[in-house]
Chain A
């Protein structure tokens, strides 16, 4: 028992990382990973709001045939900025940089990440990237689509260079976060925590970080080439100067396909935590879940050509890319089956984080299965550049990353802020968002199979009913998400004080005070089995879970 009292933080005298120092500068130049995580959290949620406003404008425009609220050029800019802001400013940094920054050192029982200054620099770079995108908004917008395809991106007269340099800077922010996480996981695990005794969230962040450092530099050089091409007519991507525009697509997708796994792997990792903790059961198939993340990271590097089936690559290349793409389904399905097996005969607690986790499994499975239609060449030629693709990647990226992000946010919220939120309202918001999401994007699958092309300003009358459904769905989704915002602000203002371990989780971030002290732990905690939820029993007197045993062995 003595070892267990040492790992569980005692009641606090009220000093924690949030109130240890005050003033704006104590935040802007903090080296504390928890504060950096919170700044990211505020930043990415702001970006999400901005991207969401663009989305609502787009859906409103598509409510009727012809012009509804904006002209075609504005529409082109709105969908471009919706995509670029969501991808570069929200989805990619969302889970790793915000939740990951907060949780990773805590889960390792460490005081901080390996390079705290580099971590702060990542955040400052993120801010600069965001500022560049604001400049884009103010200087003529951007209408290339978030993919910046040449030759249009070298000829349009919108602010391509600002946007490209913004994404370039954000890329470095991402690289440095990934580098920091890999070194921290390798070098700062506590005694007793082998790789196979880490919480699965860390496996997911590790696999994500591998992609961040291996793929993002290629995006960096591609964007730099594009910016120089535009500014000085370098002749690499410009066909009139002897360059090759398709080379841009190869370079771009060499990064951006692995990048979709930067978006989804952390969400997988969050869901693994949520399912295990809220099923009150040890995770099923720990090694398979952990290693499948690494498998997805590796396979993700060799499938980029499936974005280019109709770009004129050779049939041989397309066949190989198609074949390899199917392999992604295997580790993805391994995860889903293991989560279901964890739920089986668990003591499932239906609360807000768990609803997001269950919603994730449902939505991601739809997104994943429709991916198979697109990796099959013959069907892809039919579905390419239609709403089917739009629906597919929203099911994966929004339902994946956003559901993972919100689930994780509600799960760790008590630890981050020291406050509880109203669980009933949280569940209402989650269900509303779930209904709204399906109503938005399921009709888009149907439209896509019937030939509605993506990115079009106008459409035929026969598509209007489905477009109206989709737009109404977007409004319902917005209601759900604004409810989340209201819920969290209310929790900050009036929330009940959170206990140290409200969910009865066994991983180390719950074994310190709520909110944690600046140095996380008074002494390096002893790491046991991160999923030994049976070691904790609910104590009705304090509303907290108390440790009653210490299990070391996994599985």
Chain B
């Protein structure tokens, strides 16, 4: 009997609750979870699964890299000489440092340290922009030198006179090496892998900017720091992928 009475009053109230997402201001508990812990654990499992899909997404490219390097080792040895190891190294340091600030931000959120949280998020975003800036410079050099995928590749293919005029001042990093066929394959893989990685950095910037706004509003606290935690995990995977890309593309010989 009691449940019948409950029904008589329940429907409008429930419909209301479902659509306005009344959240507790401290724990931000969504209506369909029972406890903040359940909500946090669900988000954590969700982001880990998402990271698995990210790794598999890149795995196709690592697989392509392995196959072409196996087929054409000479192309990789030759073409990687054109990459700027110093810039790649600086970018590696920048990303590793930003992983530190991201991890630190998680700790700040857990400890209610609002000011440090904002600073660490800002530092993370600054590093992301620095990374993209350096990447832009690198890409510009490659494009200028005709080090491009497919038919767009021109380096070393133009007539000697034009080559002499265009690159007279440039030091040739491949001096003394014979240019193998299909060098453009390396640049196809280089641009695709680093481009897709760069896209993930840009996506990370968007996420961090959104979290920065929420952090300034003071939405995160000891009981609610999930989004910072998840974003930091994503940021670590972006960092980790670069840590594999750097030696595979820049340091081989």
Contact = CB atoms under 8 A, between A and B. Distances in A.
Interface of A: 5-6, 9-13, 15, 20-21, 31-32, 110-116, 118, 175, 179-180, 182-184, 186-188, 213-218, 220-222, 224-225, 228, 232-236, 238, 241-244, 247, 251, 517-519, 522, 524
A235 B42 contact: no
B8 A242 contact: no
B182 A519 contact: no
B210 interface: no
Contacts of B188: 234-236
A9 B6 CA distance: 11
A519 B53 contact: no
Given A13-B7, A20-B11, A182-B49, A188 B184 contact: no
Given A11-B4, A115-B46, A188-B42, A216 B53 contact: yes
A234 B149 contact: yes
A192 to B, nearest CB: 14
Interface of B: 3-4, 6-8, 10-12, 14-15, 17-19, 30-34, 38, 41-42, 45-46, 49-50, 52-54, 56-61, 63-64, 67-68, 71-72, 149-152, 181-182, 184-185, 188-189, 192, 196
Given A10-B6, A187-B45, 18 more contacts: A10-B7, A11-B4, A15-B15, A111-B18, A183-B45, A221-B57, A233-B149, A235-B188, A236-B68, A236-B185, A242-B72, A244-B71, A517-B15, A518-B15, A518-B18, A522-B3, A522-B6, A522-B14
Contact of B42 (A9, A114, A216, A218): A114
8 contacts: A179-B53, A186-B45, A213-B52, A214-B52, A218-B56, A232-B152, A241-B184, A518-B15
Contacts of A217: 53-54, 56-57, 59-60
Contacts of B46: 114-115, 118, 179-180, 183
Tell me if B's interface is mostly helix, strand, loop or mixed.
helix
A188 B33 CA distance: 8
A518 B45 contact: no
Contacts of B17: 519
Contacts of A184: 42
A9 B72 CA distance: 67
Contacts of A110: 32
A115 B41 CA distance: 12
Contacts of A114: 32, 42, 46
Given A20-B15, A241-B184, A12 B7 contact: yes
B10 A235 contact: no
A213 B53 contact: yes
A110 B19 CA distance: 16
Contacts of A232: 149-150, 152
Contact of A222 (B3, B60, B185): B60
B117 to A, nearest CB: 24
Contact of B19 (A21, A220, A243): A21
Contacts of A517: 10-11, 14-15
A11 B11 CA distance: 12
Contacts of B18: 20, 31-32, 111, 518-519
Given A111-B31, A518-B14, A247 B3 contact: no
A180 to B, nearest CB: 8
A228 B150 CA distance: 11
A10 B192 contact: no
A179 B7 contact: no
A394 B63 CA distance: 32
Interface centre among B10, B18, B19, B152 (most CB of A within 10 A): B18
A221 B60 contact: yes
Contacts of B56: 214-215, 217-218
A178 to B, nearest CB: 8
A283 B49 CA distance: 32
Contact of B3 (A10, A112, A113, A188): A10
B185 A225 contact: no
Given A241-B182, A247-B67, A218 B14 contact: no
Nearest to B195: A228
A188 B42 CA distance: 8
A215 B68 CA distance: 22
A234 to B, nearest CB: 4
A5 B3 CA distance: 8
A179 B15 contact: no
B3 A6 contact: yes
B162 to A, nearest CB: 23
B59 A218 contact: yes
Contacts of A241: 150-151, 182, 184-185
Contacts of B58: 221
Contacts of B33: 188
Nearest first, the 8 A-B pairs at minimum CB distance are A15-B11, A242-B182, A233-B150, A221-B60, A111-B32, A217-B56, A217-B57, A112-B32
A387 to B, nearest CB: 32
A262 to B, nearest CB: 14
Most chain B C-beta atoms within 10 Å of own C-beta, residue among A114, A218, A228: A114
Contacts of A214: 52-53, 56
Contacts of B7: 9-13, 522
Contacts of A234: 149-150, 188, 192
B144 to A, nearest CB: 18
A188 B38 contact: yes
A519 B33 CA distance: 12
A305 to B, nearest CB: 15
B131 to A, nearest CB: 22
Contacts of B150: 232-235, 238, 241
Interface hub of B8, B149, B188 (most chain A Cβ within 10 A): B188
Nearest to B18: A518
Nearest to B52: A213
A243 B14 contact: no
Given A21-B19, A111-B32, A112-B32, A233 B181 contact: no
A235 B41 CA distance: 43
B24 to A, nearest CB: 16
B12 A244 contact: no
A228 B41 contact: no
Contacts of B3: 5-6, 10, 522
A524 B35 CA distance: 13
Contacts of B72: 242
B194 to A, nearest CB: 13
Contacts of B54: 217
Contact of B60 (A112, A225, A235): A225
Contacts of A11: 4, 7
Nearest to A180: B46
A17 to B, nearest CB: 9
Contacts of A244: 67, 71
Contacts of B52: 213-214
Contacts of B184: 235, 241-242
A242 B181 contact: yes
Contacts of B10: 517, 522
A427 B149 CA distance: 59
Contact of A179 (B6, B49, B67): B49
Given A15-B12, A218-B56, A232-B149, A225 B42 contact: no
A236 B53 contact: no
A121 B18 CA distance: 18
